[in-house]
Homo-oligomer: A and B are copies of this chain.
Amino acid sequence: MKKTQSASIHDVARQAGVSTGTVSNVLSGKRPVAPATRARVEAAIEALRYQPNLLASALVSQRSRVLSIVVSELRDLGYYGYLSALEGIQHRANELGYSLMLHFVRSTDPEGIRRLLDTVNGRKSDGILWAIHESSGSHRWVDQIALSAYPPMVFLNMHPNPALDVVTVNNVGGAKLAVAHLAAQGAKRIGLVAGPEGWWESEMRRQGWQAALLEAGLEPAASLTAAGDWSAESGKIAMRQLLANRPELDAVFCSNDIMALGALHTIVSLGRTVPHQILLAGFDDTPEASSFCPALTSVRQDLTGLGEAAVNLLQERIYPQDETGSQPRQILIEPELVIRDSSRRG
C-alpha cells in the first residue's frame, strides 16, 4: 500500500523493465549503462515525471547537498550588507549544486549555540556558514564546543582566528582609507561615529580611524568619538553629541552609511553644511550612498566575493583535495574607497 504521491525509483524501474540499481546508475552516471536501456529508463522518468527523493539519497550517501547559513536577527542582514554576502553564497552554492538552509540564533551562550548546532546537525547539512557578527562574547563558544562533532564550518566577518576558517573584510584598512582621505582633504579635527561597543567591526573601524589620525599627526581624543547602534536614528544622536563636545569639528567618519545618513540629518538641522564646513565619510557603500545630499563618500567591500570565497572554502573542507591544504585558512578581503561629494572641499 503506497502512501506517497510522487513516483519513486521503483516505479521507474518497473515501467522501464529494469532494476532500481540501473535507474540509479542512469541518474548518477557513475556506472556505464547500455544506450538502449538508458533510453528506456529516461523515457520512464519522463513519463512518470520522476523526481529523486533527495532525503533518501542523503540518508544512504551521507551527503545532503545542503549548506546551512547561521544568522542572528534578520535586521542584521538589511543593515550590514550581509545580504550581499548572502548573494555571493547563494550564487556559488547553486553552482555547486547545494541547497541552502537558514538558521537563526537567539542566544549566543554555549548552551544556545549547542542547541542550534544540534538541529543543524540533525538536518545533516554538509557544511555551515557562520554569518553572525562578532560582538562581546558572541563567539566565545568556539573554544568551549568541540567543533569536530559538527560539519565543517566557515566563519564570516569575525576576528581572524588561526584555529578557524574565516573569511573577513579588512575593516581596519577600510576605515584607515576613509580617514586618511579626510585628512588629506585638510581636515584637522576628524570625529568618529562608532558602531556599538563590543562589536568587532566597530572596534576595528575605530582602530582604523585612530591609526589614520596618528599617521596624520592628529590626536585621536576620546571627545572626538561617539557611538551609535548602526541605525540612522542613533547616527543622529551621536552626531548631536559630537557637535556639542567639539563644535570645531571639520570632518566625521561614520562606521556605516546608515549612521552617516543620520549624522547628515543632524548636521543640516544644526545649520551646518557638508562638505563646506564638515567633511563626511561612511562605510559599506550601500546603493543609496550616492543619493544622499550630498552624495556620500564611503568604503566599499566586496561582500558578494566574500560570500563566494566562503562557499569555496567550505567546499574544500567538505571534499578535501589534498592533505597539505587542511590547515585552517583566514581570508582577508580588501575594501576600497569610493570618493563622492561629501568629502570634497568645494
- The chain A residues found within 8 Å of chain B, CB to CB, are 3-6, 49, 51-56, 58-59, 62, 64, 66, 69, 73-75, 77-78, 83-84, 86-87, 90, 94, 99-104, 118-119, 121-124, 149, 231-233, 235-236, 258, 261-262, 264-265, 268-269, 287-288, 290-293, 295
Nearest B residue to A118 via CB reads: B51
Question: How far apart sit A149 and B314, CA to CA, in the bound complex (Å)?
Answer: 34
Known: A74-B83, A291-B261. A59 touches B55 (CB 8 A): yes
Among B4, B102, B232, the residue within 8 A (CB) of A288 is: B232
- For A122, list chain B residues within 8 Å (CB): 51-54
- For A124, list chain B residues within 8 Å (CB): 53-55
Nearest B residue to A64 via CB reads: B55
Report the copy number of this chain in the oligomer.
2
Known: A51-B118, A232-B291. A87 touches B99 (CB 8 A): no
Among B55, B75, B78, B90, the residue within 8 A (CB) of A123 is: B55
Question: How far apart sit A87 and B235, CA to CA, in the bound complex (Å)?
Answer: 24
Nearest B residue to A268 via CB reads: B293
- For A86, list chain B residues within 8 Å (CB): 74
Among B51, B78, B94, B293, the residue within 8 A (CB) of A269 is: B293
B87-A291 in contact (CB<8A)? no
A54-B123 in contact (CB<8A)? yes
- For A119, list chain B residues within 8 Å (CB): 54, 99
Nearest B residue to A4 via CB reads: B62
Among B4, B103, B118, B232, the residue within 8 A (CB) of A287 is: B232
A49-B233 in contact (CB<8A)? no
Closest beta carbon of chain B to A20's beta carbon, Å:
16
5 closest A-B pairs by CB: A232-B291, A74-B87, A54-B122, A232-B288, A100-B102
- For A56, list chain B residues within 8 Å (CB): 59
Question: How far apart sit A49 and B66, CA to CA, in the bound complex (Å)?
Answer: 23
Closest beta carbon of chain B to A4's beta carbon, Å:
7
Known: A3-B62, A102-B100. A49 touches B290 (CB 8 A): no
Among B84, B102, B287, the residue within 8 A (CB) of A101 is: B102
- For A236, list chain B residues within 8 Å (CB): 291
Closest beta carbon of chain B to A210's beta carbon, Å:
27
Question: How far apart sit A293 and B294, CA to CA, in the bound complex (Å)?
Answer: 11
B99-A123 in contact (CB<8A)? yes
Closest beta carbon of chain B to A236's beta carbon, Å:
6
- For A293, list chain B residues within 8 Å (CB): 264-265, 268-269, 293
- For A287, list chain B residues within 8 Å (CB): 231-233
A5-B149 in contact (CB<8A)? yes
| Known contacts A4-B62, A100-B101; 4 further A-B pairs (Cβ under 8 A) | A55-B124, A74-B83, A75-B87, A258-B288
Question: How far apart sit A6 and B120, CA to CA, in the bound complex (Å)?
Answer: 13
Known: A59-B59, A118-B51, A269-B293. A6 touches B104 (CB 8 A): no
